[in-house]
Amino acid sequence: MTDAPSAPTRTARPALLLSGLAAVALGLAALVWPERSLLVIGVLFGVFLILTGALRLVTALRTPLPGVLRGFVAVLGALVLAAGVLTLVNPFDGLEVLAYVIGIAWIADGVAGLFGGMPDADLVPRGLAVASCAVSILGGIAILLLPGIAIAGFLLLGAILLLLSGVLLVLVWVLMRRRARA
């Protein structure tokens, strides 16, 4: 004999099913319409850049920052805002910029780790820590050299993971429902 499900569990079941079905639908859409999916991502990235740039400009104008820092934050805000506008004009170029940002960030992270920026590095074998940094640097270089392939790879991996996650959530919903009826 099983215990009756709690009210929160009963309430969560429809959301679980909807979440699983949405993940499956998004994963299929990304696989079937990759260009449209990338277009949506590019537009969202452009909106993100505009909002972030505007936030930086407001921060520069309204926060008591030292003069040089205020100017630096304002210039960065204006650049990010302009990048957002340009991304909305051509979202696919924005995706390439995003790939470059990811590549540069991976390289910077790997270099920082090599030069002492890895927390608790003395607790793991040095070769493992160096290998981790090297993989980050090489991954970043690969993205910089092949941004289009990186974007396509991210989309494919994301779509597959969405499909898998969605199918598993629907399976959990089915098993929960079956168990609740038993």
pLDDT digits (tens, 9 = 90+) for 11-55: 667 887 888 888 898 889 989 999 898 888 888 888 888 998 898
State the average pLDDT over residues 83-109. Answer: 86
- Would you say residue 73 has pLDDT above 60? yes
Over pLDDT 90: what percentage of the chain?
19
Report the pLDDT value the prediction gives residue 6, as an integer from 0 to 100.
Answer: 59
State the average pLDDT over residues 86-107. Answer: 86
**What pLDDT band is residue 1 in, cutting at 50, 70 and 90?**
very low
- Would you say residue 7 has pLDDT above 70? no
- Would you say residue 80 has pLDDT above 60? yes
pLDDT digits (tens, 9 = 90+) for 81-91: 888 898 889 88
State the average pLDDT over residues 71-78. Answer: 88
Report the pLDDT value the prediction gives residue 120, as an integer from 0 to 100.
Answer: 60
Q: Is 5 helix (H, G, I), strand (E, B) or coil?
A: coil
The CA distance from 23 to 20, in Å, is 5
Report the pLDDT value the prediction gives residue 2, as an integer from 0 to 100.
Answer: 52
Report the pLDDT value the prediction gives residue 118, as an integer from 0 to 100.
Answer: 60
